[in-house]
Amino acid sequence: MVCVAGQDGVLQVKRVLIIKTSSMGDVVHTLPALTDAVRAMPGVTFDWVVEEGLAEVPRWHPSVDRVLKVAIRRWRRSWWSGETRGERRRFRAELREREYDAVIDAQGLIKSAWLSMQARGRRHGLSWGSAREGISSLACHERHAVARSQHAILRVRQLFAASLGYGLGATEPDYGIDRNRLAEGALSRASVVLLHGTTWETKHWPEAYWLALAKQAGAAGFEVLMPWGNDRERDRAARIASGCGSVRVLDRLGLGQIAGLLAASSGVVAVDTGLAHVAAALGVPAVTLYGATEPGLTGTVGANQVQMRAEFACAPCLQRRCSFTGPSEVQPACYGTLPPTAVWARLSGLMGGIRL
């Protein structure tokens, strides 16, 4: 391997492998660390191991050469089938085609440790006390302590700096996204995108609130765009569109297409979902709504971002299902403190310079 210290103490590294497979927000949060490394070590390039459904995200950064797709989520359903074993063999063969100056496990999980051990190169990762699953640190040649009380973006940036031997400094995170790598997202008029889909029941803003917000955006002259990722989200978008003529329910889009759409939009309102982090990375004016969850360590970070938190006795509860049993006009009850008028006022302030 070519991995020696230069005169300034920075490792002379040419090729690095990143292990960061999921989720969408975690993958997006890793991008600023690449920008840091390139600034400190011009000429360094990265290969990246990522879940197949998120393979487009690493390609948005110009310093990523190869994206190696894994399907651990899918493989788990039939781990020992002949087809899955064949896919795993092909992945391992592709992974081992190159030797790396550094392999960085940026996930800190048993599954990412397993992946890193199949690569050729000196393995770096989080120490036992820093990793989400401490036992994953045993797979590393070099273990780095990174405080868990910091935002996820800063943690990854510090891990890269420690692994590759450069100073981080106090700079703001730069996602480094090349917008030319996004799908074309030209829009015929000023548009607001509503990212209404998420996982936990407690993360869902009330449907009646989405409708009221859409009406406010339409009255202000914006077209309201609603993407969706499954049948439930599509049906919700269709119901909202039936109550507001300014709403356009989009066809099902790929991740790159949605990113292009967000980049071209005037503003975004989102719940706690991975696509909110894509909007933040692109610097699109966006309001993200937090009820059951806490944005402090994993919330959106970027230019033109506002986080609105529910002000409620049991929020954030960090529970998938709402256990509040008192009287409430909406469910989950905590979102009653985040009414559509307040959300629109915040987004309008962010989009203040737009002329319709």
CATH value at residue 142: 3.40.50.2000
CA distance 56 to 78: 25
**Domain coverage including residue 68:** 4-179
Element at 104 (helix H, strand E):
strand 99-105
- Per-residue pLDDT of the chain in tens (356 residues, 90 and over written 9): 334 444 455 557 899 999 999 999 999 999 999 999 999 999 999 999 999 999 999 999 999 999 999 999 999 999 999 999 999 999 999 999 999 999 999 999 999 999 999 999 999 999 999 999 999 999 999 999 999 999 999 999 999 999 999 999 889 999 999 999 998 877 878 999 999 999 999 999 999 999 999 999 999 999 999 999 999 999 999 999 999 999 999 999 999 999 999 999 999 999 999 999 999 999 999 999 999 999 999 999 999 999 999 999 999 999 999 999 999 999 999 999 999 999 999 999 999 856 55
CA distance 175 to 60: 9
Same domain? For 169 and 204 the reply is no
Same domain? For 79 and 187 the reply is no
Same domain? For 28 and 116 the reply is yes
Among 164, 179, 194, the domain-final residue is 179
DSSP 63-91: TEEEEEEE-HHHHGGGTTSHHHHHHHHHH
Same domain? For 191 and 151 the reply is no
245 located within any domain: yes
CA distance 104 to 113: 10
194 located within any domain: yes
Question: 305 by DSSP, 3-state: which?
Answer: strand
Same domain? For 174 and 53 the reply is yes
Same domain? For 138 and 245 the reply is no
356 located within any domain: no
97 located within any domain: yes
Same domain? For 332 and 252 the reply is yes
Same domain? For 101 and 17 the reply is yes
Structure tokens belonging to residue 256: 């790159």
293 located within any domain: yes
CA distance 347 to 352: 8
pLDDT of amino acid 2: 36
288 located within any domain: yes
Give helix 207-219 / helix 340-350 axis angle, nearest 10°: 40
Total of domains in the chain: 2
CA distance 260 to 282: 10
Peptide bond into 316 cis (omega under 30): yes
Structure tokens belonging to residue 194: 């509503």
355 located within any domain: no
pLDDT of amino acid 3: 43
Same domain? For 134 and 174 the reply is yes
CA distance 52 to 337: 38
Residue labelled with tokens 């087809």: 83
The answer to whether the pTM exceeds 0.85 is: yes
pLDDT of amino acid 179: 93
Question: 285 by DSSP, 3-state: which?
Answer: coil
> With the C-alpha atoms ordered 206, 334, 281, 100, is the resulting torsion angle positive or negative?
negative
Question: In degrees rounded to 5, what are phi and psi of residue 275?
Answer: -65, -25
> Which residues are registered as beta bridge partners of 283?
none
Angle at Cα 260 formed by Cα 254 and Cα 264, nearest 5°? 145
pLDDT of amino acid 40: 95
Same domain? For 339 and 213 the reply is yes
227 located within any domain: yes
Question: In degrees rounded to 5, what are phi and psi of residue 38?
Answer: -65, -35
CA distance 212 to 222: 14
Which is nearest to 111 in space by CA: 131, 83, 85, 90? 131
CA distance 317 to 215: 30
Among 179, 211, 240, the domain-final residue is 179
User: Strand 4-5 relative to strand 11-12: parallel, antiparallel, unpaired?
Assistant: antiparallel
Helices (H), 2-81: 24-40, 56-59, 72-75
CA distance 162 to 140: 14
Among 179, 213, 246, the domain-final residue is 179
Report the residue count for the chain: 356
Same domain? For 265 and 151 the reply is no
Same domain? For 207 and 144 the reply is no
pLDDT of amino acid 87: 97
